[in-house]
Amino acid sequence: MRRFAYCKVVLATSLVWVMLDMFILLYFSECNKCDDKKERGLPGRDGGPRDGPGEGGKPVVIPKENQEKMKEMFKINQFNLMASEMIALNRSLPDVRLEGCKNKLYPDNLPRTSVVIVFHNEAWTTLLRTVHSVIDRSPHTLLEEIVLVDDASERDFLKRPLEQYVRRLEVPVRVVRMEQRSGLIRARLKGASISTGQVITFLDAHCECTTGWLEPLLARIKHDKTVVCPIIDVISDDTFEYMAGSDMTYGGFNWKLNFRWYPVPQREMDRRKGDRTLPVRTPTMAGGLFSIDRDYFQEIGTYDAGMDIWGGENLEISFRIWQCGGTLEIVTCSHVGHVFRKATPYTFPGGTGQIINKNNRRLAEVWMDEFKNFFYIISPGVTKVDYGDITSRVALRQKLQCKPFSWYLENVYPDSQIPRHYYSLGEVFSYTANKEIRTDDLCLDVSKLNGPVMMLKCHHLKGNQLWEYDAVKLTLVHVNSNQCLDKASEEDSQVPSVRDCTHTRSQQWLLRNVTLPEVF
């Protein structure tokens, strides 16, 4: 009898162990990254002293013996996943705001926002750190909800485990799924359509919001037709160190239609009378992080749903906002960090180049008028890429009576690398109204008499970059040296040079007038 009871106990205990084992096995195979590391690095949930990895935005150091594993893991998301997994999901961050931002007061009746975060195969820790930073650093009265849009991820931990995890958070978090891989543009459209806040705030899935990030954004939305971006701080892809971004850079783009940061020009400093805490008007947005009034988002035509996967939508919405009567700003009192990566971890079904070129063609065809030629000329082969049907976007532009691209260049982005006025746009270079021979931000430059010419960064000071075209003699005279651009190069060099003007064939250049946006 006793022996029997003992057996039962043994049996029951081993059953418990087997079940526990199975549970652990299931738990980790389904969700190997789901353990809640949130509380690591305690004490001091809100700003108290902490010394865990990455606390205070400090870089994470990986011990030598783990370097190989770290490199392997890096490939999964193209950032240091091992470092990210060591850092608390609610790590502390420095307050990187300008002093003048810290005591600004905002009205009580700010509109509420939904935060929409789209992701494809995002890491658990970066995604949840984004969510926690929103919840921990936003007044809950201003947070309607967080909407996570899964763009057909192939990671099990992003399925049920994610839904279970977010259920217990203090702010409503909804997870919605795209039926098939759709790209960030259509995923954001889905998130926006099911969200309910008066304002929609988009974030990438690997961000961290800092103290006071939300109020200054929402405060600007009250100004009609204003779309706002925070300063995007840099979270190192190698160490997850948090580094403050500058309030002295704003968004532009180059001839290839790549988004680029450029210094805030003097005219914009002057307009704000030198007050760096006031929002900067920016020609373009980086794309991932911005707030927009729901009705205005609708009114200006949300996104171009014909764009696939990634790319182009940021310039498209920027041009559209400005050309159709809105304003785009960087709110310098709002800081949100983002993990900038050197490579994309995910696939582009159909080919990276194809997709980006298609998206860029759509935006160039709809918004850039004759200036699209700058893009086409510098991107060989791009005109062969099919860009689909744009009739509804062209109709949108007409309906909203949007201004021409030349207006945008003239009034919003006069420091653009695309010259507003140009005499000629040939296969290689443009001859600008400033009499530079230029491609992108490089200008034909002479540093030596009788020597080869070079492409150097345009300095806009005329000087050694000033060329006079003689449309009768077909010569390009370098004004400073009074020498002519000559195809004949020095013995073993392919580079043209400047020579005394002989008006022979090797010094004749035919500039073709492709389009002249304005008459001179």
Chain positions contacting Mn ion, by CB under 5 A? 204
Q: Which of 191, 117, 122, 126 is nearest to 154 (CA)?
A: 122
Closest residue to ligand UD2, judged by C-beta, is 287
Residue closer to Mn ion by CB (options 216, 288) is: 288
Residue 205 in contact with ligand UD2, rule: CB under 6 A: yes
Report the amino acid identity of residue 235: I
Distance CA 445, CA 467 (A): 9
Residue closer to ligand UD2 by CB (options 210, 507) is: 210
Residue that the structure tokens 């005591």 belong to? 103
Distance CA 466, CA 476 (A): 10
Residue closer to ligand UD2 by CB (options 126, 373) is: 126
Token pair recorded at residue 118: 């789209």
- Beta-ladder partners of 227: 328
In the window 322-381, what residues touch ligand UD2 (CB under 6 A)?
338, 344, 346
Q: How far is the CB of 27 from ligand UD2 (least distance, A)?
A: 25
Task: Rule CB under 6 A: choose which of 218, 221, 286, 317 binds ligand UD2.
Answer: 286
* Site track 164-203 with ligand UD2 (rule: CB under 6 A), x = hit: -----------------x-xx--x----------------
First-residue to last-residue Cα distance in the chain = 110
- For residue 477, give the 3-state DSSP assignment: strand
Instruction: Identify the helix (H) or strand (E) that includes residue 314.
Output: helix 313-323
Burial class of 308 by CB neighbour count within 10 A (0 to 12, 13 to 18, 19+): buried
In the window 113-132, what residues touch ligand UD2 (CB under 6 A)?
118-120, 122
344 binding partner (options ligand UD2, Mn ion, none; Cβ < 5 to 8 Å by kind): ligand UD2
Q: Which of 509, 485, 483, 510 is nearest to 496 (CA)?
A: 485
Looking at 201-312, list the stretches that DSSP marks H as alpha helix, in order from N- to C-terminal side: 214-221, 266-271, 294-299
Burial class of 184 by CB neighbour count within 10 A (0 to 12, 13 to 18, 19+): buried
Q: How far is the CB of 231 from ligand UD2 (least distance, A)?
A: 11
* Site track 79-118 with ligand UD2 (rule: CB under 6 A), x = hit: ---------------------------------------x
Task: Look up residue 497 and give its DSSP letter.
Answer: E
Residue closer to ligand UD2 by CB (options 74, 346) is: 346
Token pair recorded at residue 133: 């930073």
Q: How far is the CB of 346 from ligand UD2 (least distance, A)?
A: 6
- How many residues in the shown chain lie near ligand UD2 by CB under 6 A? 24
Residue closer to ligand UD2 by CB (options 55, 122) is: 122
Distance CA 391, CA 520 (A): 33
* Site track 220-249 with ligand UD2 (rule: CB under 6 A), x = hit: ------------x-----------------
Residue closer to Mn ion by CB (options 101, 289) is: 289
457-462 contact pairs (CB < 8 A, 24+): 460/434, 460/436, 462/434, 462/435
55 binding partner (options Mn ion, ligand UD2, none; Cβ < 5 to 8 Å by kind): none
Task: Rule CB under 6 A: choose which of 144, 204, 316, 486 binds ligand UD2.
Answer: 204
Distance CA 167, CA 186 (A): 25
Residue closer to ligand UD2 by CB (options 122, 293) is: 122
Token pair recorded at residue 432: 């600008």
Residue closer to Mn ion by CB (options 201, 439) is: 201
Q: How far is the CB of 370 from ligand UD2 (least distance, A)?
A: 25
Residue 310 in contact with ligand UD2, rule: CB under 6 A: yes
Q: How far is the CB of 473 from ligand UD2 (least distance, A)?
A: 47
316 binding partner (options Mn ion, ligand UD2, none; Cβ < 5 to 8 Å by kind): none
Handedness of CA 331, 332, 334, 338 (dihedral sign): positive
Stretch that binds ligand UD2, among 81-89, 241-249, 306-314, 477-485 (CB under 6 A): 306-314
Helix/strand/coil (H, E, C) string of 403-464?
A: CCHHHHHHHCCCCCCCCCCEEEECCCCEEECCCCEEECCEEEECCCCCCECEEEECCCCCHH
Residue closer to ligand UD2 by CB (options 1, 343) is: 343
Residues contributing to the site for ligand UD2 (CB under 6 A):
118-120, 122, 151, 181, 183-184, 187, 204-205, 232, 286-289, 309-311, 313-314, 338, 344, 346
